[in-house]
Structure 1
Amino acid sequence: MTMHSPLSRKFAPALLSFGLAFAATQPAEAQTKSGQLALNLFEPTPTGDAFLAVPSPRIGGHLVPRGAALFDYASRPLTITDRQVPIVAGQGFVRADLSLSLWDRVLVSVHMPLALVQSGEAPNVPGLDAPAPRAPVLGDLRVGARVRVLGKDDRAPFQLGLGVNAFAPTAPDDTFVGEGDWRADVHALAGGRVKLRLPLVWSATVGAMLRMSDSPHALRFGAGAAVLLVDERLSVGAEIHGTRALGETRLIDARFTDITAAPSLGLELLGEARLRVFRGMTFAAAAGPGLLSGLGTPAFRGIFLVGWAAPAGSRSPVTTASPPPKDRDGDGLRDDADACPDEKGILSGDPSRDGCPPPDRDRDGVLDLEDACPLVAGEQNTSERKNGCPADRDEDGVPDREDVCPEIKGLAETKKRGCPADRDDDGVFDTLDACPDQKGVAVSDPVQRGCPKDMDGDGLEFPEDLCPADRGAADAPEKGCPLFVQLKGDEVALSRRIEFAPSLRVKGLAVTPESIPVLEEIKGLLRDHPEIQRLEVQGHTDDAGDVKKKLATSQEEADTVVRTLVELGVSADKLVAKGYGHKKPIADNRVAAGRRANRRIAFTVIARAR
C-alpha cells in the first residue's frame, strides 16, 4: 500500500500481514491518532508581495497597512495510491492576511487560515480507526516579521532580507490542518526589479521549517519571475516552490504500526496573474500542478486573492527634522540617490544609472542630453536647436553632405535632393520658371526665364519677339506682337475699334468686316492663354440721349460681339456679355471726341485658373 505523498515501504507489509494476523487477538483499548499534521504546504506570502507562494524582501514604506482575503484549493494532497484511497481528497482554505510596514525596512504580518472545505476517506484497514478529514476548522495562526538588509528601496534591482514566521497551535487535532505544537519558518529572501524591454520582478527564498512536535524539520525553497504590463497595473509570471522533510513523518498512529511518509521532495509550479484596478485594490489568480509527489503536494492547486496593497515604490515618509538633501550637480536628483552626484544627469529608471549623463547614441561627441539630433551624427553648434545635428546651411532639412543645392532651400524628395522643384527638368527651378511645365532656357528676363525660345509659336524667338507669350506678326509695329490685341494684366488693349453696322441677315447689328481681324486675334489670345477661364465682353456708350436706350444698345453690341466670337470658334462658356451704358466713361462726354471714345467695346478677364 503506497500513498500519493510517498510513505515508507515498510508500511505495506506491516499493515497488511502483521496487522491482519493480530487484529483479532489485541485488546480494543489501542488508541488511534491521525491527522496531527499541517498537510497544506502552501504558505501565502504577506499581502503586497509580487508572488503568492515565494516571499520577497519588499517592505513598502512606513506605516503602510495592507490586507487581503485569499482562497486556495488543493486536489488530492494525500492518497494511498495502490488502493486509490484519497485520505485527503481536497482541501480548500479561506485566509485572512494583514501586514504593516515600518521605516521602509521592517514588515510585520499576521495570517489566519480556515479550512472551509476538506474531503476524503478513512483507510478501511483492520486495527486502524482513522477518521475522515472534516471542515470547517481553524488552521494554525501565523505571525511573521522580516527585515530588508540590502537594497535601497522596493525598486532596487537586487534586495536581500531575512524573515521568520511563528505558528501557534490553534488548529484542533485529527484535522490535517495543524500540528498540535509550535513551529517556526526561518528563511532568507532575495528579489528585485529589473528594467529590461519590459519591467521584470523576481524573488527567491530558502529556509527551514523547525518543529517542536514529533514531525521532522524540513527545508523550504522557491523562486519566481513576472513581467509588468499596462503601466505596471498587470503582472504575469510563474513561480516554483518546494519542501523536503529531513526525516520520516508519522501520519497516523495505528494499533500495530505507524503509517509514515519517507523523506522526499515535493515540488509545485504555479502560473499566476495579478491586476491592480485602481491605486491599491488588487486581484490575483494562480493555478498549477504538483511536479514531484512529496508529502502534501497536491495533484493540482488553484488560488484566488482580493486585497489592498500600495503600489511598489509608494511610501509614507517618516517625518524627521532633517536638512534638505544635497544635490551637488543640480540635476534635480539628491546626492544619496544619484549614481553620478558630480555630473549632471537624468532619471533613467535604473538606480545604478540614475543621475548619470545619458549616452551619446550617435557618437558625435555631443551627449544626448544636449543633442538636438541624438540619433544622427552631427557637429557642435552654439544654437540649442542645431547642436549635435548635421550642417544644413539652407535649413531645408537635408544635411549639407546630402544636399545637391546646399545653399538653396529645397525639398528632400526632389530628383536633385535638397534642391527646389523643377518639374520640366530644364535647370530652372519652378519658383523662378515662367513656364514650369515646358522645358525652356535660362535667361535673365523673368517673363521668358525657363520658357521655350518661341513660346507662342509665331516663328519669332526671344528676345526678337517683343510679345513672347502672345502670337503675333513679324510686320507688327511691335515685332512679334498681335496687330490689334494685347493682354495687359486683366485688361485687353485694342489698337483698332470694333465697329457695327445694321444687318438684314440677323435683323439687327453685325460686326463690320474691318473688325473681324480684331476678333480673330481675341480668339488667338484665348487659345494662347488657356488659364483664362472667363472673358467679359463689355459694351459702353456716351450719355447723350435716353440712358435706358443707351444701356440696351450697349448690351446689344456686347451680345453681337459674343455671338460673332462663338461663330469664329470660341467656346461660349468662356464668354459673358455685359452692357454698361454710359456708367463707365473713359473720356469727357461734353466734347465730340470724348463721346466717340466712350462708345466702345472692351474686354476684361474675370476668371483665371489657379
Structure 2
Amino acid sequence: SARAGGLDASGYRPALSSTGFFARDGGAVLAPGAVEIALSLDAADDLLVVRDPRTGAVWPDGGRLVDARLTGTLGIAVGLFGRVELGAQMPVVLAQDGAVQRVRARGDLASTAAGDLRVGGKLRLLGSDALALSLAVDAAAPTGSADGFAGGSIAVTSRVVVGGRVGRFAFGVDVGYRARERAVVGDLAVDDEIVGGAATAVAVVRGRAWLVAEANAAVAAGGGGDTLRPVEVLAGVRWRPRGPWLVQAGVGAGVTEGYGAPRARGVIALRYAPVPRPAAGPRAPVRVVRRPTPPPAPKPPVDSDGDGVSDADDRCPLAPEDRDGFEDEDGCPDNDNDGDGIADRDDRCPLEREVVNGVDDTDGCPDEGLIELVEDRIVLPNRVLFDTDRARVKHSGKKVLRAIVELWRQHPEWDRMLVQGHTDERGDADYNLWLSQRRAERVVRELVKLGVDPAKLEAQGFGETKPVAHGDSEEALQKNRRVEFVIIERRPPDAPGTGESGSGDGAGDAPAGGPRPVSPPGLQGS
C-alpha cells in the first residue's frame, strides 16, 4: 500500500541571505565576515488538496489535506573570503488544519510540526556584484514530521545562479536539480525534480526601499501532470529602516494546481543584516631617516642683543630681531603687526593677516579663495565638484582643480597626494562607495590633464562612511558630498627638486599655520 509521509507541502523556502529576494537567490554573496540572522513567517491556503479528476474541483468532503498553514523559519548566514556564503534554516509549522481521512486510515493532521533542517552554501564562480555566476547547493535532513506533511525526506538541491545589478535594478535567475527520497501521499508520488525561477527588484528609494517580484517553479524529472508542476508567483516590498534591520513582506499565489502551490500566500520576514563598511584605505608609508651623531657643538657666537642672530651677521646688533616672519635673519626688528610678511608701511590692512591665494597677495588684506590648505589637507569650502548621483566634474569645479594644480606647483616638496571621494548618506551604501571611487578617479584624471604626474596621485572612495556633518538638511548633505586632497608623502627640504618653483610666484613665502585658502591668479570673480 502507498505510504503517507515524507512530503513537505509548504513549497516555500526563504532565501538564505539578503543577497537573494523572497525564495530565489541572487548571484552575489555576503561580504567577508558578514553575519545575518532572519526570522520568516509565511501563511498559505490550500497547500495540499485532492481534486476530482473529471472536473478538477477540490473534493467537497475531506479534499483539503492541508487547508491552511502558518510556518516560521529561523535562519543564519555568513560570508567568507568574498566568494563563499554559508547558511542554515530550521522551519517549524506553527499552526495548520486539514482533513487526512482520504489518504490515512486513522489519525488527524498534527496542528504543529517540525520541518526539515536545511544547510546550504553558495560559491561565486565569476564576476562581481554587478553581474555574477554562482553555484548554490543545499541539503535537507529528514528532521521534519511526515505525518504533518512537513518533510521527513533527504533531499539535495544543486542550482546555477546568474544575478546582478544595473543602476536601480537587480535580478536573479537560477535553474537546478533536486535529488530526493520518493514520497507518496495517496495518488501523489513526488520524486526528483528540476527546479528554478527568476526574480527582480527595483529601488524606489536608494538604499532604503525596493519593490520585489519573483516566480518559483518545479517540474518532476520523470514527467507527470499539473500536480507535479507547481508554479507560484510572489510580489512585495523590501524596506531597510535606519540601522542593521531589513524588513520584507509580500503576497502571492499558485498559478498551477501543483502540490505546494497555494491558492494564496502571505510572507513577512525580519532580518538582521548590517550594511558592510569599506575597509580603511592604505596608510601613507612612514619613512625613518637615521641621522649620524652630530659632532660636539661649537662655542656659541657673540650675540649682544640675544635675538639668535650673531653679531657678525646682525645688521642691528643692539636691537633684537622681532621674529615676525619678515626678514627674520637680518637681526633687525620689523614693523609688521599682523605678521603676514608684509611691512606695515606697504600693508593696506596692517591689523588683518594676508591670505596667500593668488588673489592680490601683496596688498596685505585677506581674500576669499577657491580652496584652503589645512596642514596636509586641501579642502574646498562650499565648493561642490559634482551634481547629485553624478561622477562628471561640473564646469565650475574645473576652476577649483586648476587652483589645486597651481598650489601643487608652489609646493615642490609634495611628492604624493591622495584624492578622497565622499558621498552623503542618501542611497545604497554599496552604490555610494562605488560612486565615490568613480568621483575620486575622475578628479585624478582631470588633474593629470592639467599637468600633474599621475605617479604622484592616488584615488580612493569612502562612500558615506566619513561624514563631516550630520542630519538630513540639504546643507549637511552638501557638506558630506565632497572631494578632499591629502598630502601623504613629502620630500625633505634639501632633497633634489624641492627648490624654488619655476613660476617664481613666491608660494614658499606664505606664512605657516592655520587654514590657507588658495586659488590660481586671475580666477577671483570669474
Could you state the TM-score of these two structures normalised by the residue count of structure 1? 0.44
Are 1:69 and 1:306, in contact at CA under 8 Å, matched by a contact in 2? Answer: yes
Task: Letter of the 2:140 partner, please give it.
Answer: F
Q: What's the secondary structure of 1:282's corresponding residue?
A: strand
Of 159, 172, 179 in structure 2, the residue corresponding to residue 210 of structure 1 is 179
Q: Does 1:225 align with 2:200?
A: yes
Name the structure 2 match of 1:98.
76
Q: CA deviation at 1:133?
A: 2.5
Distance in 2 of aligned mates of 1:134 and 1:189: 36
Q: Does 1:109 align with 2:79?
A: no
Are 1:70 and 1:303, in contact at CA under 8 Å, matched by a contact in 2? Answer: yes
Q: For residues 317 and 347 of structure 1, do their structure 2 counterparts lie closer, same or farther at Cα, with a shift above 3 Å needed?
A: closer
Pairwise CA RMSD: 3.8
Distance in 2 of aligned mates of 1:358 and 1:321: 19
Are 1:89 and 1:119, in contact at CA under 8 Å, matched by a contact in 2? Answer: yes
Q: CA deviation at 1:138?
A: 0.6
Name the structure 2 match of 1:240.
215
Distance in 2 of aligned mates of 1:204 and 1:385: 58
Are 1:60 and 1:310, in contact at CA under 8 Å, matched by a contact in 2? Answer: no
Cα displacement string for residues 74-106 of structure 1 (whole angstroms, at most 9, x for unaligned residues): 110111233231111122111100111111111
The correspondence of residues 118-517 of structure 1 with structure 2, limited to 5 A, is: 118-124=96-102, 129=105, 131-152=107-128, 156-178=129-151, 180-195=152-167, 199-213=168-182, 215-247=190-222, 264-311=228-275, 314-315=276-277, 349=435, 355=441
Distance in 1 of aligned mates of 2:440 and 2:161: 25
Name the structure 1 match of 2:50.
80
Q: What's the secondary structure of 1:88's corresponding residue?
A: strand
Higher relative contact order (CA 8 A, sep 6+): 2
Q: For residues 158 and 114 of structure 1, do their structure 2 counterparts lie closer, same or farther at Cα, with a shift above 3 Å needed?
A: same
Could you state the TM-score of these two structures normalised by the residue count of structure 2? 0.51
Cα displacement string for residues 412-464 of structure 1 (whole angstroms, at most 9, x for unaligned residues): xxxxxxxxxxxxxxxxxxxxxxxxxxxxxxxxxxxxxxxxxxxxxxxxxxxxx
Task: Letter of the 2:40 partner, please give it.
Answer: L
Distance in 2 of aligned mates of 1:315 and 1:227: 23
Distance in 2 of aligned mates of 1:220 and 1:284: 24
Q: For residues 359 and 47 of structure 1, do their structure 2 counterparts lie closer, same or farther at Cα, with a shift above 3 Å needed?
A: same
Q: For residues 234 and 189 of structure 1, do their structure 2 counterparts lie closer, same or farther at Cα, with a shift above 3 Å needed?
A: same
Larger radius of gyration: 1
Task: Letter of the 2:172 partner, please give it.
Answer: S
Distance in 2 of aligned mates of 1:308 and 1:347: 21
Q: CA deviation at 1:247?
A: 3.1
Q: For residues 115 and 318 of structure 1, do their structure 2 counterparts lie closer, same or farther at Cα, with a shift above 3 Å needed?
A: farther
Q: CA deviation at 1:315?
A: 4.9
Q: For residues 62 and 124 of structure 1, do their structure 2 counterparts lie closer, same or farther at Cα, with a shift above 3 Å needed?
A: closer
Q: For residues 110 and 236 of structure 1, do their structure 2 counterparts lie closer, same or farther at Cα, with a shift above 3 Å needed?
A: same
Q: For residues 213 and 92 of structure 1, do their structure 2 counterparts lie closer, same or farther at Cα, with a shift above 3 Å needed?
A: same
The correspondence of residues 588-603 of structure 1 with structure 2, limited to 5 A, is: none
Q: What's the secondary structure of 1:176's corresponding residue?
A: coil
Are 1:61 and 1:316, in contact at CA under 8 Å, matched by a contact in 2? Answer: no
Q: CA deviation at 1:238?
A: 0.9
Q: CA deviation at 1:211?
A: 1.1
Q: CA deviation at 1:167?
A: 0.5
Are 2:243 and 2:274, in contact at CA under 8 Å, matched by a contact in 1? Answer: yes
Task: Letter of the 1:267 partner, please give it.
Answer: V
The correspondence of residues 482-561 of structure 1 with structure 2, limited to 5 A, is: none
Q: CA deviation at 1:266?
A: 1.7
Aligned residue pairs, count: 302
Are 2:182 and 2:192, in contact at CA under 8 Å, matched by a contact in 1? Answer: no
Q: For residues 384 and 38 of structure 1, do their structure 2 counterparts lie closer, same or farther at Cα, with a shift above 3 Å needed?
A: farther
Distance in 1 of aligned mates of 2:19 and 2:256: 25
Q: CA deviation at 1:172?
A: 2.6
Q: For residues 349 and 204 of structure 1, do their structure 2 counterparts lie closer, same or farther at Cα, with a shift above 3 Å needed?
A: farther
Q: CA deviation at 1:57?
A: 2.5
Distance in 1 of aligned mates of 2:246 and 2:433: 28
Distance in 1 of aligned mates of 2:163 and 2:284: 30
Cα displacement string for residues 22-67 of structure 1 (whole angstroms, at most 9, x for unaligned residues): xxxxxxxxx6631321122211101323411111122221111100
Distance in 2 of aligned mates of 1:385 and 1:167: 72
Q: What's the secondary structure of 1:34's corresponding residue?
A: coil
